[in-house]
């Protein structure tokens, strides 16, 4: 049987219709862009996979999906996730891919389309997409606070994005649920921006889809949510509950990562195109 090339899309797997809009939109864009290639799905969250299985949905892990594709004679696969930065979760994805390739009978050649931000140039590209997708009804003096996952290993990437965004719009702030740019730090920046309190703030999740973090930790009505803390500090706060995978500008960047990885896999097939053992793990 001839060797085949395929695409594996990876999402966290948050439950609910709202959470599924971003990954579904991205998948539809991938299918239109790479119409000749089969597209498979996997979910990175074990808890969400269990929920999907309980409700009768498909729920392959990355490892399982790659092993399945190997058994179906896929020799070349590009894995594209919806990660914002190359933090700990992205690194865990790389490890799982390599385990499937080496020990699980997965495809021989596995490339990885990178996250949105790997370096300063990526941050600039992502900042352009972010500022382009700020809601059109934003007030003339309204600050925008974008909140991502964060984490110590990701702080440097968010700092790159913060600098790139500030070069375009100093009233757009980048915060994180964990790591250096906490809600307390963002409140300090808002007070400095407005010279105290009383300003208006638009709160946007910087997450691929609208899951528990967006609904509860960011937009929740309780006093510990980002919305609750911003309002308690004296600011008016409006929330835009939409995952970034629902915006074409962000989706197109992930598409470009996927296209580049497919191109590298194709190059490895050609005589003299490269050493097939030198895949893209850790090099994106």
pLDDT value, residue 45 = 77
pLDDT (tens digit, 9 = 90+) per residue, 33-76? Answer: 999 999 999 988 777 777 777 777 778 899 999 999 999 999 99
Which segments of the chain belong to CATH 3.40.50.1400? 4-117+246-269, 120-243
Task: Quote the DSSP letter at residue 6.
Answer: E
pLDDT over 70 (residue 266) = yes
Mean pLDDT of 234-243: 94
pTM: 0.89
Percent of the chain with pLDDT over 90: 72
pLDDT value, residue 212 = 82
Rg for the chain (alpha carbons), in Å? 20
pLDDT value, residue 268 = 66
pLDDT over 50 (residue 278) = no
pLDDT (tens digit, 9 = 90+) per residue, 150-172? Answer: 988 899 999 999 999 999 999 99
**Active site positions, annotated:** 149
pLDDT value, residue 33 = 95
Average pLDDT of every residue of the chain = 88
Task: Quote the DSSP letter at residue 57.
Answer: -
pLDDT (tens digit, 9 = 90+) per residue, 128-152? Answer: 999 999 999 999 999 999 999 998 8
Kindly report the CATH class assigned to 120-243: alpha beta
pLDDT value, residue 15 = 58
Task: Round to whole Å and give the CA distance between 5 and 36.
Answer: 10
Mean pLDDT of 227-253: 95
Partners of 4 in the beta sheet? 74
pLDDT over 90 (residue 1) = no
pLDDT value, residue 280 = 39
pLDDT over 80 (residue 260) = yes
Distances (CA, A) of 238 to 51, 56, 202, 271: 31, 36, 5, 56
pLDDT over 50 (residue 175) = yes
pLDDT over 80 (residue 252) = yes
List of E strands, the chain: 4-11, 39-43, 74-81, 109-113, 143-150, 172-178, 200-205, 236-239
The answer to whether domain 4-117+246-269 has CATH 3.30.1330.20 is no
């Amino acid at each position: 049987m001839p060797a085949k090339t395929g695409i594996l899309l990876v999402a966290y797997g948050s439950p609910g219709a709202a959470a599924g809009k971003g990954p579904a939109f991205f998948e539809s864009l991938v299918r239109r862009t790479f119409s000749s290639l089969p597209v498979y799905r996997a979910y990175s969250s074990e808890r969400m996979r269990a929920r999907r299985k309980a409700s009768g949905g498909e729920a392959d892990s990355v490892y399982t999906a790659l092993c399945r594709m190997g058994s179906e004679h896929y020799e070349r696969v590009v894995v594209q996730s919806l990660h914002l930065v190359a933090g700990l979760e992205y690194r865990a994805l790389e490890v799982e891919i390599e385990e499937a390739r080496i020990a699980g009978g997965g495809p021989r050649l596995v490339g990885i389309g990178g996250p949105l931000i790997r370096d300063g140039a990526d941050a600039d590209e992502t900042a352009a997409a972010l500022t382009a997708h700020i809601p059109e009804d934003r007030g003339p003096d309204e600050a925008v606070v974008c909140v991502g996952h964060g984490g110590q290993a990701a702080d440097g990437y968010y700092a790159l994005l913060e600098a790139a965004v500030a070069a375009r719009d100093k009233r757009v702030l980048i915060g994180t649920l964990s790591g250096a740019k906490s809600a307390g730090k963002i409140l300090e920046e808002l007070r400095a921006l407005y010279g105290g309190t009383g300003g208006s703030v638009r709160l946007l999740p910087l997450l691929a889809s609208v899951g528990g973090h967006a609904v509860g930790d960011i937009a929740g009505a309780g006093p510990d949510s980002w919305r609750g803390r911003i309002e308690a500090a004296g600011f008016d706060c409006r929330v835009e509950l939409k995952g970034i995978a629902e915006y074409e500008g962000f989706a197109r960047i992930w598409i470009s990562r996927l296209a580049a990885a497919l191109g590298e896999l194709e190059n490895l097939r050609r005589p003299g195109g490269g050493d097939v053992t030198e895949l893209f793990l850790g090099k994106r």
